Amino acid sequence: MKTRMSDIRGLSGQWHEDAGGNISVLMALIVVAVLSLAGVAIDLRFTISQKEKVQYALDSAVLAGALERQKGAGLTDVTAEVQSYAGALIAMQGGGMTCTDIAVTMDDVSEDISAKLTCSQPTFVSQIMGQDHLSFAVSSTSTYSVGKVDVAFVFDVSGSMNSYNRLSLLKTAANAAFDTLLPDDMPDDKTIRIAITTYNNAVNAGSYISSVTDGVTLPADVSNLAASATYNTNNGKRMYDTATGKRFFYYQTGTCLDYGSCDQYSNWDWDPARRYYSDVSVPSSCVYERTGTQAATDAAPGSLAWIGAANPEWYFSYSDRNKYRGWQEVAYGGANNNTGAFDNNYATCRESGPVPLTDDKAALKAHVNSLTAGGGTAGHLGIAWGWYLISPNWDSIWPAASKPWDYDEVNATKAIILMTDGDFNFQHDSATKSSFQQSMDLCDKMKASPSKVTVYTVGFQVPSNVQKTSDGKTILEYCATSPAFAYSAADGDQLLQVYKEIAQSIADLRIKQ
């Protein structure tokens, strides 16, 4: 059979007509698919944006609810706050989005606040494919809850604080910190309590002196030199006269019987009279560091863990610290703290004793406003007593209302604010380590488990030549929980700002991170 050329041309034209129709249909389908995918992408992107906004609204609402909880609100009021706060933000988003009511729950143990809801967002382009809305769920479990904070302020009241109006500026800054931590509208829930301790050469234990130190009674026929030996070998025992019941300190006076050739080896007629703390201006409640295995711990006072009861030192022989010719003062000048045989440096402390944990802002302010300064800088004592005031191991020492939270108490945080204007350079003769090294030891133990104390440090006009660690850190930089927790202030305005900032940071610790 012959195929005519005209037939071939006809078939070819018909194929082109059919192919053109098929391509048109195919292209139409492709266009619809592309437009649909683009529409889905547009709707999906818009819905994701809406979800992000709802998530932000819910997170913010849960935080607002937690703040209401801190003020004492119950679940009903917290729920209303969360729903109102989030509802107002969600309503501003537009786009026709609708959401279910916000369900709010609160954990009785952790006091975390949780909220959740479901929203539906109408589509714009996807409707041509029969997808008229996209739904999503949002939830937020607040990492914010009512917390408990024990915070101890540790103030340097050494003599240098009298220079350049530093003490007055410190008082202003401390009062501002109290206002931040204990605002007037804060509920009386004891979730934030503040303690105060001060230090110079020593620490004033105040009315707690008998609870934290060991005591011994000695008969009148025991000489003061024998009392000296008793005191020095027992980490500073408080010594009481058996006959009078008064606390006394060793202080020797006498007459040289070898006229014209008196020295520490001569015969002396010792005066048996004792000097009692009630007879002198030296405070009887000054204490210094404890020694031994518990030197750098927060163990409760007791056997092998007593705090040293500070005593004036009396030097007789020239060999005593190779510093005083005490026998000459006794023989010719009379032993006293001006001529050298009698030295009360280690027994010198300010009148400001410790203030156990309290939320009585007026009392805290009154205490700070009464502070005076003088003496040296035994900073390690301030660190130790700041720790003692917030340590649960010391709860038998402090009043019932001031008992610190346990270290494992849910949502409880411990914080210390350590302040100084100079070097830590004063320690008792009985100590085997410098004030600087003792401070390092205490800070290491305090920041470690189980204590995990958060340490803020404040250096106020600290000179650049203070002692540093082997890697170049000051003691304030070493002790701070992190570099961000070590503050410095060059003037009163900066000091005020620093204390406000630290106080706000501590207040935020009530909101559990």
Q: What is the mean pLDDT of each run of 10 residues along the chain (513 residues)?
A: 49 49 57 59 89 91 78 83 93 92 85 89 82 91 71 97 97 97 84 96 95 93 80 86 89 75 76 80 87 95 94 68 60 61 80 96 98 96 98 97 94 94 91 96 97 96 94 96 95 97 81 47
168 and 303 inside one domain = no
**Confidence (pLDDT) at 482:** 93
- 273-280: list long-range contacts, CB under 8 Å, 24+ apart: 274/220, 274/224, 274/241, 274/248, 275/248, 275/249, 275/251, 276/241, 276/244, 276/246, 276/247, 276/248, 277/246, 277/247, 277/248, 277/249, 278/246, 278/247
Q: Are residues 10 and 55 in the same domain?
A: yes
On whether both 58 and 14 belong to a single domain, the answer is yes
Residues 381, 382, 387, 388, CA torsion sign: positive
Residue 108 lies in a domain: yes
Domain co-membership, 325 together with 360:
no
- The rounded Cα 336 to chain-centroid distance in angstroms is 42
Are 57 and 108 found together in one domain?
yes
User: Domain for residue 513, yes or no?
Assistant: no
DSSP conformation class of 303: T
Residue 324 shares a structural domain with residue 373: no
Domain identity same for 52 and 112: yes
The CATH number that applies at residue 455 is 3.40.50.410
As for how many domains the chain has, the answer is 3
Q: Which of 346, 370, 403 is the last residue of a domain?
A: 346
Collect all residues with Cβ–Cβ distance below 8 Å to 206 and sequence separation of at least 6: 285, 353, 354
- Alpha-carbon distance 345 to 466, whole Å? 22
- 189 with 219, same domain: the answer is no
State the residue range of the domain holding 483.
Answer: 148-200+353-508
User: Do 413 and 498 sit in the same domain of this protein?
Assistant: yes
Within a domain: 498: yes
The pLDDT of residue 40? 76
The whole model's pTM is what? 0.73
Q: For residue 363, what pLDDT is reported? A: 98
From 93, 124, 141, the end of a domain falls on 141
Indicate if 94 and 11 belong to the same structural domain: yes
Residues 163, 229 share a domain: no
Indicate which CATH number applies to the domain containing 112. 3.10.450
Rounded to 5 degrees, φ, ψ at 119 are -125, 155
- Give a yes or no: residue 169 inside a domain: yes
> Which residue, 346, 372, 399, sits at the end of a domain?
346
Residue pointed to by tokens 């309590």: 193
My answer on whether 71 and 44 are in the same domain is yes
